[in-house]
């Protein structure tokens, strides 16, 4: 930038220039080589008294270490931030000031010019007089904390810390979650870090603190116990984190941090039974069984059951500890539910050791005793076993009753068949008007008393067309062809179906060819 010279002073300068040449060296030595200003500073940086007859020039040469003398456009833009003037008074002042546009390091012009933080600007000043003396000067720009620090969006609302974490263990770092718009970016050492009580019921300061204010590490003050805190409903603790700037701005921010105490597997399982809440030292389990019993064993006062004392709720596996006398070999236990089954003879009273083990990496375990007593009373057997026994008896009774029923039914069927066959063999031919059920006595009682009555009776029963006629020389009648009207079969066919054993006929049918003894049958030959 060319030095702005008052017209009047310039006229005087040229009028005297030919007569007297001023010594520039005396005046230029008064200009400070280094001047430090804040980035927010505006106005005069320094004033120097000079001879008004001198002529001065002023040019920017560097921004930080970047040479701008070859980039005239950039050089002019840098010089426009400054004003280098010479007053018109007899004892003139050379003034160097920063204009309204401050040297703000956050200004994008400076960030783009140097590709980083603006730290210093270099100038070259020339004085023209009796001698020509140039001088390099430097303006150092100091940072100002213009913007307060802030917690970024990644700052966690809650962190988790395992119970029983050792004292003085670092559990959280604060600085990584801070942001600041200032250039250069503040460092860890630029802040002070503290925590204070949240004034709530779940105050975490008894368990956590920051021992050194210049460090951002939150550490364990007293190892937290989840189980104890859980009883007081304090598994989530609360702190207030405070961050304060160390410079003159004194910017201070704070936020709430919650700390969840996490239960870890640090307790063994506990057997559950009446009167015991957690980790009872006495386990009064007992069971009654028979010497030769095989099957489930009923445990009193309740079934064997263990539970993880930690809130993790790890699965439990059950086992029977080996005994020196091999007593345990008569029993087995379900690994998943602890049910006891007798698989061998038990001849003595003894004690089994039941072991409950967590199915975890640590594998914490707890033991309980089971006293085995002998008894022949089935009331000590499990309900399911008694039901099975009763069911077996009922099945046996049902089988016996079924077998007897089958035998009776077989006998009845045999009798029915036998009677049917006997009845069929006794079937005979009877007159049309007589019932098949007519007995011998009825037939005998109905016999006519005279021969004529007998003949007439027979004629009434025989078709006239079949009455016998004399056809032979011996004056004998033809035999009658009688039919069994119930079966419509000829007499001849009836005879073919006679039973093997001949039985005495109840009555003979008159065929007109036979003679009958009157004394015995009451009939005469016709």
Pairing of strands 208-209, 120-128: unpaired
Could you confirm whether domain 150-262 is CATH 2.60.40.60? yes
Does this chain's domain 150-262 share its CATH topology with 269-380? yes
The rounded distance, in Å, linking the Cα atoms of 349 and 1 is: 114
Higher pLDDT, 283 or 46: 46
Query: Which tens digit of pLDDT belongs to each residue from 465-506?
Result: 555 555 544 555 555 555 554 454 444 444 444 555 544 444
Q: Does CATH number 3.30.465.10 belong to domain 269-380?
A: no
pLDDT at 18: 37
For the chain, give the mean pLDDT: 79
Q: What is the DSSP string of 99-141?
A: -SS---TT-HHHHHHHSS---EEEEEEEEESSSEEEEEEEEEE
Where do the domains of the chain lie? 34-141, 150-262, 269-380
Q: Which residue has the higher pLDDT, 97 or 377?
A: 97
Question: In terms of DSSP H, where are the helices of 426-526?
Answer: 440-445, 451-461, 491-496, 518-521
Share of the chain above pLDDT 90, in %: 40
Cβ atoms within 10 Å, residue 59: 19
pTM attached to this predicted model: 0.57
Whether residue 106 contacts residue 183, with contact meaning beta carbons closer than 8 Å, is answered with yes
Return the bridge partners of 523, or none: none
Q: Model confidence over 395-438: pLDDT tens digits? A: 788 888 988 998 899 898 988 888 888 787 666 444 544 445 55
163 or 525, greater pLDDT:
163
Distance CA 372, CA 69 (A): 104
pLDDT digits (tens, 9 = 90+) for 378-400: 666 665 555 555 666 677 888 88
CATH of 34-141 among 2.60.40, 3.30.70, 3.30.530, 1.10.20? 2.60.40
d(CA 453, CA 447): 9
- What one-character-per-residue DSSP string does 251-303 give? -EEEEEEEEEEEP-S-S-EEE--TT--SS-S---EEEEE-TT--EE--EESS-
**Helix/strand/coil percent split, the chain, to 5:** 25, 30, 45
The single-letter DSSP state of residue 183 is S
Q: Is 469 helix (H, G, I), strand (E, B) or coil?
A: coil
């Amino acid at each position: 930038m060319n030095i702005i010279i008052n017209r009047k002073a310039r006229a005087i300068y040229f009028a005297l220039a030919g007569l007297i040449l001023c010594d520039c060296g005396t005046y230029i030595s008064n200009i400070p080589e280094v001047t430090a200003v804040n980035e927010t500073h505006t106005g005069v940086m320094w004033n120097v008294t000079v001879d008004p007859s001198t002529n001065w020039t002023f040019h920017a040469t560097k921004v930080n270490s970047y040479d701008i003398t070859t980039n005239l456009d950039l050089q002019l833009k840098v010089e426009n931030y400054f004003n280098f003037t010479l007053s018109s008074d007899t004892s003139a002042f050379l003034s160097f000031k920063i204009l309204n546009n401050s040297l703000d390091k956050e200004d994008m012009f400076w960030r783009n010019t140097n590709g980083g933080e603006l730290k210093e600007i270099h100038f070259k000043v020339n004085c023209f007089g009796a001698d020509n003396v140039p001088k390099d000067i430097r303006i150092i720009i100091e940072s100002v904390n213009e913007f307060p620090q802030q917690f970024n969006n990644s700052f966690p609302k809650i962190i988790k810390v395992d119970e029983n974490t050792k004292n003085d263990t670092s559990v959280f770092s604060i600085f990584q979650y801070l942001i600041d718009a200032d250039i250069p970016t503040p460092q860890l050492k630029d802040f002070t870090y503290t925590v204070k009580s949240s004034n709530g019921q779940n105050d975490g300061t008894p368990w956590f603190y920051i021992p050194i204010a210049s460090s951002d590490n939150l550490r364990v003050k007293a190892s937290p116990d989840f189980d104890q805190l859980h009883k007081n409903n304090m598994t989530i603790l609360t702190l207030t984190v405070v961050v304060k700037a160390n410079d003159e701005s004194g910017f201070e921010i704070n936020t709430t941090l919650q700390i969840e105490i996490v239960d870890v597997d640090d307790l063994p399982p506990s057997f559950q039974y009446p009167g015991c809440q957690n980790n009872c030292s006495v386990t009064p389990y007992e069971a009654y069984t028979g010497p030769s019993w095989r099957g489930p064993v009923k445990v009193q006062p309740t079934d064997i059951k263990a539970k993880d004392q930690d809130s993790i709720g790890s699965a439990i596996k059950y086992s029977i500890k080996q005994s020196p006398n091999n007593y345990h070999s008569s029993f087995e236990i379900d690994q998943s539910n602890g049910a006891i089954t007798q698989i061998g003879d038990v001849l003595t009273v003894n004690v089994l050791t039941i072991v409950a083990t967590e199915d975890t990496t640590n594998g914490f375990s707890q033991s309980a005793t089971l006293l085995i007593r002998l008894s022949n009373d089935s009331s000590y057997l499990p309900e399911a076993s008694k039901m099975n026994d009763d069911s077996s008896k009922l099945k046996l009774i049902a089988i016996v009753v079924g077998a007897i029923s089958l035998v009776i039914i077989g006998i009845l069927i045999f009798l029915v068949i036998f009677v049917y066959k006997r009845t069929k063999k006794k079937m005979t031919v009877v007159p049309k008007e007589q019932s098949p059920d007519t007995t011998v006595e009825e037939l005998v009682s109905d016999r006519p008393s005279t021969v004529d009555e007998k003949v007439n009776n027979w004629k009434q029963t025989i078709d006239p067309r079949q009455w016998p006629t004399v056809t032979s020389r011996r004056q004998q009648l033809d035999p009658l062809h009688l039919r069994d009207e119930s079966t419509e079969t000829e007499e001849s066919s009836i005879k073919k179906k006679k039973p093997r054993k001949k039985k005495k006929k109840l009555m003979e049918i008159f065929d007109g060819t036979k003679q009958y003894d009157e004394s015995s049958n009451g009939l005469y030959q016709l």
